[in-house]
Amino acid sequence: MHITRTVSLRHGSASILVFALSLFLVSCKQENVATNPSSINPNDQTPVNSSIPKSLAPLVDPADNPTTAAKVELGRHLFYDKEMSVDHSTSCASCHDVSSGFSDSRSLATSMGFDGQMGNRNAPSLANVAYNTSFTWDGRFGTLEKHAPGPIFNSVEMGNNFSQSAFDSIPSGYNSKPGNNDTNFLFKRLNGEPKALRKDINGKTYDDLRKAAWGPGADRFTLDMIAKSIAAFERTFISTRSDFDKYNNGDKEVLKYNASAIHGFQLFTDTKGANCVSCHSGYNFTDQSYHDNGIGINQQGDEGRFAITKLKSDVGKFKTPSLRNVALSAPYMHDGRYKTLEMVIRDNYLKGGKHNTANKDANIKPLTLSDEDIADLVAFLNTLTDYSFTADKAGRYANPWGN
C-alpha cells in the first residue's frame, strides 16, 4: 500500500499567467517591443500555456519505506555526519547546503570529495528531489533509496569500499573500487566501535536514533537502514514558496513592480521567444528527461546518459536540472562551466548551442534576444528563489552534530 502525504501549498484562483499588468508592461517596455519576439505582445490578454502547474502533486512514499518522524531524524543525522567519509571530512551536506537550495555552496565547478579529491560533475540541487523520476546527471539511479549510498560508496566522494559480508553487497552503478577503506569500518564507526557512541548536540546517540526509527531490535546498522533513512530525510526538502509561486497562485502584488521578471517569464514560456519551457517544464521546471543542449563533450570526455544506456543517441545527453532556487546554485551545467545565469544564456543558448553536436536537441536554436531580454530572463529566474526554504538552516534542516 502506498502512503500519501499532501504538501501544504497556498492556492489561488488566478490562471498561471494573465497579463493584468499590461499597461504597466507597456509603459516600462515600450522602447524594447521591436527587439522582442513577435509572439510577445504586452496588450494580449490570452494566458500563456506555460506547462508550469500551480502546485505540487501529493507526495507518495515507496510502499517499503513509509516516512516517519523518527526515520527522518535518523536520516538528518546521517546526511550531516562527516564520519560517513573515510577521513571524517565529508558528508552529504558538504555538497548539498540548504542555504544554496541543497546545492554546493562552495561555488566549485565540480564537487569535492574526501581528501580534497575533485569529482567530474557539479552537485545538483536537491530541492523537491522527492519528485524526481531518476537521479544524477545521467539518471543511473531510479529511486532515492538506490541513490543514497552512491556518494557514500564512491571512491572519490566519501571513499568507502564495498566488501562481501552478511550486511553488505556490491550494487551496480557505484564507483566503488578495491581499497583499504572497507565498508565494515563504516558500520563500525556508526555502531560506535571501537570508541564509545558519539552524541549529537542534544545528547542523542545513533543507538537511540536507530532503535527509534527501526524498532528496539535494530541493534546494528545495515545498508538498507542507511539508504532508507537518508531518503526519508531528503523527501522533506520541499520548496514551494518563491515569489513566482505566490504570483502563480494569484498574488499579483508580489511582482507588481517587477515588470522585468514578468516579461522574462513570457520569454521563458514562449515557443517563439526563449522557449526554455521546452525542457524546463512542470512544477520543478524540469521535464525529467535527457537532452544534449549543444555545450559539447568536456575535456574529461563525459558522455552523459550514454554511460548508462550505451546508445549512441544518448551521447552528450544529461538530465534537465530543476531551476528552483537556481540563482543560488552557481556554477551551471553538469560540469560547472558557466559561472552566471547570464553566461548560460549568452554563451550557449543565444547561439543555439555552442557546438553543433550530433545529438543536439531540435529545440536548441539561435535566439533573437536583446540585452534587455536576457536581463529579464535572469530577473524571472531570480523569482524562483524560495528564501523561507533556504533560510531553514537552524530548524528542520539544522546540522545535529554542530560542525
Query: Is the pLDDT reported for residue 156 higher than 50?
Result: yes
Asked if 290 and 327 sit in the same domain, the reply is yes
Range of the domain at 25: 3-57+240-388
Asked if residue 262 is part of any domain, the answer here is yes
Asked if 330 and 358 sit in the same domain, the reply is yes
HEC secondary structure over the chain: CCEEECCCCCCCCCCCCCCCCHHHHHHHHHHHHHHCCCCCCCCCCCCCCCCCCCCCCCEEECCCCCCCHHHHHHHHHHHHCHHHCCCCCCCHHHHCEHHHCCECCCCCCCCECHHHCECCCCCCCCCCHHHCCCECCCCCECCHHHHCHHHHCCCCCCCCECCCECCECCCCCCCCCCCCCEHHHHHHHHCCCCCCCCCCCCCCCHHHHHHHHHCCCCCCCCHHHHHHHHHHHHCCCCCCCCHHHHHHCCCHHHHCCCHHHHHHHHHHHCCCCCCHHHCCCCCCCCCCCEEECCCCCCCCCCCECHHHHCCHHHCCEEECCCCCCHHHCCCECCCCCECCHHHHHHHHHCECCCCCCCCECCCCCECCCCHHHHHHHHHHHHCCCCHHHHCCCCCCCCCCCCC
Asked if 140 and 206 sit in the same domain, the reply is yes
Give the pLDDT of residue 184: 73
Asked if residue 401 is part of any domain, the answer here is no
pLDDT tens per residue across span 271-326: 999 999 999 999 999 999 999 999 988 767 899 999 999 999 999 999 999 999 99
This prediction's pTM: 0.85
Asked if residue 402 is part of any domain, the answer here is no
Distance in angstroms (rounded) separating the CA atoms of residues 168 and 245: 43
Asked if 218 and 302 sit in the same domain, the reply is no
Asked if 85 and 215 sit in the same domain, the reply is yes
Asked if residue 396 is part of any domain, the answer here is no
Domain boundary among 215, 234, 253: 234
Could you tell me which of 150, 147, 158 has the C-alpha nearest to residue 83?
158
Number of domain units in the chain? 2
Domain boundary among 234, 251, 284: 234
pLDDT tens per residue across span 323-347: 999 999 999 999 999 999 999 999 9
Asked if 43 and 78 sit in the same domain, the reply is no
| Lowest-confidence pick of 155-164, 368-377, 384-393 | 155-164
Buried b (16+ CB within 10 A) or exposed e, 28-45: bbeeeeeebbeebbbeee
Banded model confidence at residue 180, pLDDT cuts 50, 70, 90: low
Residue 128 is part of a domain; what is its CATH number? 1.10.760.10
Give the pLDDT of residue 10: 35
Asked if 109 and 229 sit in the same domain, the reply is yes
Q: Determine contact, residues 119/110, Cβ cutoff 8 Å.
A: yes
Asked if residue 397 is part of any domain, the answer here is no
Asked if residue 403 is part of any domain, the answer here is no
Asked if 22 and 136 sit in the same domain, the reply is no
Span 142-170, mean pLDDT?
78
Question: What percentage of the chain carries pLDDT values higher than 70?
Answer: 82
Give the pLDDT of residue 330: 97
Q: Determine contact, residues 381/125, Cβ cutoff 8 Å.
A: no
Asked if 192 and 111 sit in the same domain, the reply is yes
Span 126-144, mean pLDDT?
96
Span 196-225, mean pLDDT?
93
Question: What percentage of the chain carries pLDDT values higher than 90?
Answer: 70
Angle at 305 between CA 94 and CA 148, to 5 degrees: 35
Asked if residue 86 is part of any domain, the answer here is yes
Asked if 227 and 282 sit in the same domain, the reply is no
Asked if residue 350 is part of any domain, the answer here is yes
pLDDT tens per residue across span 66-103: 999 999 999 999 999 999 998 899 999 999 999 999 99
Domain boundary among 216, 234, 252: 234
Asked if 24 and 89 sit in the same domain, the reply is no
Query: Is the pLDDT reported for residue 353 higher than 60?
Result: yes
Asked if 174 and 256 sit in the same domain, the reply is no
